A and B are shown apart, each in its own frame.
Chain A
Amino acid sequence: MAIDMSAPTGVGRPGDSPANGTSRGKGFRLNALTALIAGAIGYLFGHWAGNAIASGYQQVQGSGQNDIAVILGYLFGTVGWFAGLGALNYPIKKIFGCEPAGDEPSYEKGVGKYFRFTLDHKVVGVQYLFGMLTYFFVAGLLALAIRTELLSPTNHIFSPDIYLEVVSEHGTLMMMMMTSVVMGPFGNYLIPLMIGAKRVAFPRLEAASFWFTPASFVILLSALWMGGFQSGWTGYAPLSIQQGVGQDSYIMAFALMGFSMICASTNMIATIINYRAPGMRWSRLPILVWSLMATAFMMVLAVPVLIDGLYVMALDRTAQTSLLYGAHGGSPFLWENLFWFFGHPEVYLLAVPGFGIVSELAPVFCRKPLFGYKTSAAGMIGVSVLSFFVWQHHLFQSGMNPDMRPMFMLTTELISIPTGFLYLVGMGTLWKARIKFDVPMLFVAGLFFNFLFGGLSGVYLSDVPADVTIHGSFFVMAHFHYTIMGALIFAVFGAIYYWTPLITGIQLSSKLGKIHFWTMFITFNSTFLPLFAIGLLGQPRRVFEYAHRLQTLNDWVSISAYLLGLSLTFFVVTFVWQLAVVRKPSPKNPWHSRGLEWQGAMPPLPHNFDTIPVIQSGPYEYGDPNAIPMVEWGTNGDVTAPASVGGAS
């Protein structure tokens, strides 16, 4: 992206009015459909070019598989996709010295804006929300296919190659997409509202970060039509070099998602540092903002290493280098290192936003200040820093650097100290609280319950001797499903129930929400708790055949998984029904939160605030009779400020 040399906009810019930049909607405009068409054209061109270049190569001739054509197809397809969205107009105009339109969003009405490359952070947030839910449910359906195959140890529904394709698609889709499940919807939508900004720092990066995700999603799924890839989400070489062209989809999809993460996190960091309202000191920042800041730093530091690794894999598959396998000086260890150097921070960049959400919600429903605010922020930063020093614990039995195992055992166990701060903060906040178990609070409690299993099982895995038994088994699988689904996804549902009234102005039924929570909570634990036992009893991951004595447990898990699927379906149906049909208006600030995002209009004004909020106190001053409201509004045109803020109304 070009550096924006135009006059600074945003907080404090005089004369900021809603009329700004609304005059662009005329005639035909580019949208997701034109992007799809341009993407298809790009793909065909790239594919043709790849065949033209590589048709003379020996390893392409007669193999029926040309990795160069596939990779170039995806590459040009992605370029076409962005061109079709109109995302390239701005940088191209800049390069040729024209002065393009500024980066003020055009705050339009209607649903069309959700299908366009939009610079409005609230639109991007909603795009992300529905995108992420779609990706999550598609990957979830694949999980049900896996569980169906595992109903019987010896009778098969899928052939082994289809089974591994499904496993690999499920794993990769979840692991690459869910990295953005908090930062995408809630980070983009809420951060400016929470820090008192009228906009984000880099709206084009933000919009691009979203539009990478559907491209990545389509590319990853397209592997299924080309024989898929059977290397799992870890893609260990040389297996991944040996695979058919489906592996190229893995490379491109994961890399695009990597670019998405880099764009999103760069914007997040710049926005949080530079766009805070007057008085929004670091010590008053909502804790969710701290968690996303920590997450964003992990992303910008870890993701480039993944992209690097994928690039190396692509070279091995296309240019016939041998960097990831032996004999010419390459080594499969290289990929294992690059992948896990990204992969381990990734595990924490999945967890930390969940911590942020529950720490943000707990004070509201406990009617108490967050206990140990600094400890909480320090814990998230501590986790982020340490996450870069633990990656070899995935490789304890690999034979690589065996002498370093005590060191990586130590760093891995150390990381449970800052992780444990989450429990200190959560439990301290419950002390002498006035807890109201509304639906979001139920999900908060669910996270604290589930993550306990996820965290404690992590200590077993960090212990090298215990890891000899449980490495690569279903125990690991249960462990990370407890940390990602049990913690992150529970937090996300809590956040959806909490912030939907703000985003849409629609009130969600508490009764339906409670049915969703209890069914999901019970079936989730019923699905994943037995997996610890299955792993300890010797079932490796990613197998389609297992010992007969484990069938009862596996069947229990599969049936629970179906019920979990039903519970999630119940959510989708009731959520869409309430948003599209019932549309019961929500009262203003339904949770009586002190948070800044709730103090303005609901749903928020297009440009967030009419006047610049001046922050006077922290967001969690519940219980202090002398607490001053968090925000004092400017005096001009103050239509949004409620009569009273901070009180229990």
Chain B
Amino acid sequence: MAGVSPKISGDTRKHGTRIFIIWLVASIIGSSLIYFVLGPHLPPGTMTNQARGQQFDIKVLSTVATPVLLFVWIYMGYATITWRLKKGESWADGDGMYLKGNRKVQGWWYFITSATVLSLAVFGTYELIAPAGAGGGEGPSPIWKPASHHMLQVQVIAQQWRFTYRFPQYGGMETTSLELPNNTQIQFNVTSLDVIHDFWAYQLGVKADANPDVNNVAYAKPDQLGRFTVRCDELCGVWHGAMYNYGTVVTPSQFNTWATNLEKQNAAVTKLLPKYATTYTPSYTGAGGGYYPPGDPNGNL
């Protein structure tokens, strides 16, 4: 019966210190590279304050994850090089160290992982609340809202398999294309006429499920001009993959021209649409093939 191999018991090198120093140097370099070099290019970009917040979160998480990743890699690499059986060696000359645990190491591990995790939870909560829901869908009555009172209301209506947009402040007109004014606080009211979809405006940092009979509110404030992509992000049936289009952020005056023109152009059609409401029950207008019986649980009819 063999005990600990003399190779192990006779080893007096300070492995822990070595690993720590290699790790410290690698982490400082790695985390700095992630934060300062890669960070500004991380998705989803900086088109709105919400997107910027998400980019910041992804950047911070990557900066924190790097030392963790490096610690495991460096430790395991070091262990593999140092403690693997070399050519010609076998277990015949003895086993590894008889070690069933170490109070100090375990204690520090519990403490460090708990502290990291709790800080991340606090950080995430702050980053969720401060930018008013961080661009995510917040249900019909959000408790985290932007401070500004004047907001452009944009209703996103999802159905199999397209998005349309309604602007209650412009006579309730409905369009298939989306333009948004720059530097304006926007409230998206996302709903669906049939199954669950998801309104994902990638560059705006907005994502909200479109549920039938539910108004799901999300906020964003663009501060850059340009085009953004809208994709459906919840499986909604056969043409889910084709359910995308593009929107544009334009200057407020361009937007105003676009919207008022459309309002006039569409006036005849708008009259025929159901009255603007936060949710729609398709059978009210005969749409949806009578799949849903009349009556809106939100009392909007």
Q: Contact between A397 and B209 (Cβ–Cβ < 8 Å)?
A: yes
Docked pose: A26 CA to B297 CA in angstroms? 66
Main secondary structure of the interface of B (DSSP, over half): mixed
Q: Which residues of B contact A (CB under 8 A)?
A: 1-5, 7-8, 11, 15, 42-44, 50-51, 53-54, 57-58, 61, 65, 68-69, 72-73, 75-76, 79-80, 83-85, 89, 91-92, 94-102, 105-106, 109-110, 113-114, 117-118, 120-121, 123-125, 127-129, 131, 133-140, 142-143, 190, 194-196, 198, 200, 202, 205-209, 211-218, 229, 231-242, 244, 281, 292-293, 295, 297
Residues of A within 8 A of B142 (CB): 402
Q: Contact between A239 and B236 (Cβ–Cβ < 8 Å)?
A: yes
Residues of B within 8 A of A374 (CB): 101
Which residue on B lies nearest to A372, using beta carbons?
Answer: B101
Q: Contact between B61 and A463 (Cβ–Cβ < 8 Å)?
A: yes
Given A399-B209, A464-B128, A648-B2, the answer on whether A417 and B117 have CB atoms closer than 8 Å is: yes
Which residue on A lies nearest to B120, using beta carbons?
Answer: A413
Which residue on B lies nearest to A374, using beta carbons?
Answer: B101
Q: Contact between B234 and A236 (Cβ–Cβ < 8 Å)?
A: yes
Stretch at the interface among A126-134, A496-504, A532-540: A532-540
Residues of B within 8 A of A231 (CB): 235
Given A231-B235, A623-B98, the answer on whether A427 and B75 have CB atoms closer than 8 Å is: yes
Given A369-B98, A466-B54, the answer on whether A160 and B242 have CB atoms closer than 8 Å is: yes
Residues of B within 8 A of A546 (CB): 241
Chain A 359-403 per-residue mask, 1 if CB under 8 angstroms from chain B, else 0 = 000000011111111110000000000000000000111111111
Q: Which residues of A contact B (CB under 8 A)?
A: 160-161, 163-164, 230-232, 234, 236-239, 242, 325-329, 331-333, 366-375, 395-403, 405-406, 409-410, 413-414, 416-417, 420, 423-424, 427-428, 430-437, 445, 448-449, 452, 456, 459-460, 462-469, 471-473, 536-538, 540-547, 592, 620-625, 627, 644, 646-649
Docked pose: A154 CA to B114 CA in angstroms? 47
Which residue on B lies nearest to A426, using beta carbons?
Answer: B76
Q: Contact between B106 and A236 (Cβ–Cβ < 8 Å)?
A: no
Q: Contact between A435 and B233 (Cβ–Cβ < 8 Å)?
A: no
Count contacts between A and B, CB distance < 8 Å. 327
Leading 5 A-B pairs by shortest Cβ distance: A625-B3, A399-B216, A543-B241, A623-B98, A368-B96
Q: Contact between B95 and A623 (Cβ–Cβ < 8 Å)?
A: yes
Residues of A within 8 A of B83 (CB): 366, 430-435
Q: Contact between B196 and A435 (Cβ–Cβ < 8 Å)?
A: no
Q: What are 15 inter-chain pairs, A to B, with CB distance below 8 A?
A: A160-B239, A236-B196, A238-B195, A332-B195, A368-B98, A369-B99, A399-B216, A402-B137, A434-B94, A452-B68, A456-B68, A468-B135, A541-B235, A623-B99, A624-B98
Residues of A within 8 A of B295 (CB): 327
Docked pose: A448 CA to B73 CA in angstroms? 9
Q: Please pick, from A234, A460, A464, A649, the residue contacting B136 in the complex, using a CB distance under 8 A.
A: A464
Given A402-B139, A413-B117, A542-B235, the answer on whether A464 and B134 have CB atoms closer than 8 Å is: yes
Which residue on B lies nearest to A162, using beta carbons?
Answer: B238
Q: Contact between A239 and B196 (Cβ–Cβ < 8 Å)?
A: yes
Docked pose: A413 CA to B4 CA in angstroms? 39
Residues of A within 8 A of B95 (CB): 367-368, 434, 622-623, 648
Other A-B pairs beyond A405-B128, A538-B44, 16, CB < 8 Å: A230-B235, A236-B195, A239-B237, A371-B101, A434-B5, A434-B91, A463-B124, A464-B134, A465-B54, A466-B58, A540-B232, A541-B233, A546-B241, A592-B91, A622-B96, A649-B92
Q: Contact between B136 and A239 (Cβ–Cβ < 8 Å)?
A: no
Q: Please pick, from B84, B129, B133, B244, the residue contacting A436 in the complex, using a CB distance under 8 A.
A: B84
Docked pose: A399 CA to B95 CA in angstroms? 57
Docked pose: A463 CA to B124 CA in angstroms? 6
Nearest Cβ on chain B to A337's Cβ, whole angstroms: 13
Residue from A237, A238, A448 whose CB has the most chain B CB atoms within 10 Å: A238
